[in-house]
Structure 1
Amino acid sequence: MRQEFSVCFLARATAGRPTVSEESTDVRWFRPAEVDSLPMVTGIRKRVNDWREGTMPAAR
């Protein structure tokens, strides 16, 4: 049995630089207009679109 879930974080840069870790190979900030061209799985794309449309399921 397999259960899939996705986690998205909404963040704002306050200081420093994004850096890779043991769990990542690339970390970058993107402007909202740049997001459509990024490769991502359907579940994450839905979360991003929910945010852009103001229909996020979770409270801020």
Structure 2
Amino acid sequence: MIPAARFPDAADDDEELSKEEIAAIKESEEDIRAGRVRSLSEIMKDLGDDEVIRIFPHR
């Protein structure tokens, strides 16, 4: 996680989340809890491009 202190000049987003955005966030959280996630390495391999994997190796 990137500490908030690294973004001292970042604008605050004071706009409320829509019902659709909140629902999408909840759905994403459920997917993560259920293990329905994929690594960047897996996705890049599926796309036939492992260049990012070589630049940023999986730890």
Say whether the fold is shared (TM-score over 0.5): no
Larger radius of gyration between Structure 1 and Structure 2: 2
Short-chain TM bin: 0.3 to 0.5
Larger RCO (alpha carbons 8 Å, 6+ apart): 1
Larger % of helix: which? 2
